[in-house]
Amino acid sequence: MFKRVIWTGVGYGLGVGSSVLVQRKVKRTVTKTVERYTPAQLREQAAAKGRAVVDKAKVATIELRAVAKDASLFAGERQAG
């Protein structure tokens, strides 16, 4: 009978302890998620991605102009030669 009381107490203790730990973990996760997806954070992320796209487009334009210039020079050499 005494063993049953002890194991029942251990079970209750572990149940309460695990519930507290799970609640703390969920609260931390929710806090991090809310901080990550606030309007200010979203605005900063969108602006950064937009700047990255613009920078890539500028690089692609410069490379395209260089290739077009080389192609026109090559075509001019072929016609002259």
Report the alpha-carbon distance of residue 62 to residue 65 in Å, rounded: 5
Same structural domain, 31 and 4: yes
Report the alpha-carbon distance of residue 23 to residue 26 in Å, rounded: 5
Decide: 35 and 41 in contact? Cβ < 8 Å: yes
> Which residue type is seen at 61?
T
For residue 43, being part of any structural domain is answered with no
CA torsion angle for 33, 36, 42, 43 (degrees, to 10)? Answer: 150
Q: What is the pLDDT along the chain (81 residues), one digit of tens a residue?
A: 889 999 999 999 999 999 999 999 999 999 988 888 778 888 888 899 999 999 999 999 999 998 888 877 766 666 665
Give the residue ranges of DSSP H helices in the chain.
2-36, 39-80
Same structural domain, 58 and 27: no
Range of the domain at 8: 1-36
How many domains does the structure of the chain reveal?
A: 2
